[in-house]
Amino acid sequence: MIPESKKAAVSHALQVTFGVHEFEDLRELTAGLSSALVFRMLVLGKPYLLRIITRTDALADPTNEYACMKAAADAGIAPHVWYTSVNDRIAITGFIEAKPFAQEEAKLKIPGLLRQLHALPPFPYRMSYIDKVGEFIEKFQAAEIMPASMTADFFYLYKKIKNIYPRNSHDLVACHNDLKPENTLYDGKRVWLVDWEAAFLNDRYVDLAIAANFVVRNDADEKDFLKAYFGTEADEYQHACFFLMRQVLHLFYFIVFMLVGKAAGKSIDFENPKPGFREFHDKIWAGRISLADMDARLLYALVHMEQLRNNMHLQRLEDSLSIVACYKIA
């Protein structure tokens, strides 16, 4: 299972860390979407996680990933880091035996976890998230996946949000940026964050919005979620930023997973009824849908598209744009 080119490096990592050259058992973990190879490894009778980076593009930066992961581990919100090698692109960390994580409990625990994460010293800056979404829009348009008339309103909304959304330095914090269920592991007492490949300095509302996809079901949940994060009732500006960032994320997931489907040569069915946003995310949370499946990824894109379309008809959208625009002017 370990690539031949990495076997010597893994053996070296085991010798340096544990004083042995071989593991006793190895099981590949395939739940995530990362291109990295991830294994549950048994060494001297104890389980560890072995992660081998296989990508070579600009975003596959082990220096950044390991630095963010180590900072989070030192703060007690990521598993202990036993070994890293930037040159070999190998990391060994503690292994979390995940237990079922009820969404009601997650709604209470995740905001506090994000507050801890966002209080860490700033992670390295890699990109402007909102500007990066614009780059994906350009790729989407160039791919001609859908008639321009079907997406024109979405991209017009993106421009409106981009033009008024504040770029406040106090909202740029250490972010994980990939808070899907398989990266938020519950051991029965604590929640741990794993897979730091996408971590960088980002707007706090990105992490909040990603987590909210799974645990915020209504306005009351949103109020409780933000209060748990901020430690006090969120004001109208904070609610507005949160709502607008959720729309940016809907657009981002729609575009990215459509591009993935296009690259895989999959046909896209726009006509058949789609599951609701809440239903689909509940099934992901429960492990009944895996985004490792290409058909599920395309359906995920369409679910986000429909949610964005629905939200564009809400009065709250115009209210949020006005609130944030006024704040920016002030």
- CATH code where residue 112 lies: 3.90.1200.10
Last residue of a domain, one of 94, 126, 141: 94
Predicted pLDDT at 266: 74
Q: Round the average pLDDT of the chain to a whole number and report it.
A: 93
329 pLDDT exceeds 60?
no
Residues 65 and 133 in one domain: no
Residues 182 and 285 in one domain: yes
The sign one gets for the Cα dihedral 126, 180, 57, 252 is negative
Predicted pLDDT at 58: 62
4 pLDDT exceeds 90?
yes
Residues 79 and 168 in one domain: no
33 pLDDT exceeds 70?
no
Q: What is the pLDDT of residues 128-176, one digit of tens each?
A: 999 999 999 999 999 999 999 999 999 999 999 999 999 889 999 999 9
Residues 158 and 271 in one domain: yes
Indicate the pTM of the whole model. 0.94
Q: Give the CATH number, domain containing residue 66.
A: 3.30.200.20
Q: What is the pLDDT of residues 188-210, one digit of tens each?
A: 999 999 999 999 999 999 999 99
Predicted pLDDT at 265: 75
Residues 126 and 193 in one domain: yes
- Residues 222/216, Cβ–Cβ less than 8 Å: yes
Predicted pLDDT at 30: 79
Give the residue with greater pLDDT, 262 vs 254: 254
Residues 44 and 22 in one domain: yes
Residues 66 and 159 in one domain: no
Predicted pLDDT at 264: 67
Residues 72 and 119 in one domain: no
Last residue of a domain, one of 94, 115, 134: 94
Q: By residue range, what is the domain housing residue 118? A: 103-329
In this prediction, what percent of the chain has a pLDDT beyond 90? 85
In this prediction, what percent of the chain has a pLDDT beyond 70? 97
Last residue of a domain, one of 48, 77, 94: 94
Q: What is the pLDDT of residues 46-102, one digit of tens each?
A: 999 999 998 766 667 899 999 999 999 999 999 999 999 999 999 999 999 999 999
Interatomic CA distance for residues 205 and 118, integer angstroms: 10
CB atoms within 10 A of CB 10: 24
Beta-carbon contacts of residue 296 (< 8 Å; ≥ 6 apart): 289, 290
Interatomic CA distance for residues 197 and 138, integer angstroms: 24
Predicted pLDDT at 227: 97
Predicted pLDDT at 79: 98
Place of tokens 């300095």: 201
Residues 159 and 264 in one domain: yes
Residues 87 and 108 in one domain: no
222 pLDDT exceeds 60?
yes
Beta-carbon contacts of residue 8 (< 8 Å; ≥ 6 apart): none
Interatomic CA distance for residues 193 and 182, integer angstroms: 9
Number of domains in the chain: 2
The sign one gets for the Cα dihedral 68, 69, 71, 72 is positive
Residues 8 and 68 in one domain: yes
Residues 130 and 228 in one domain: yes
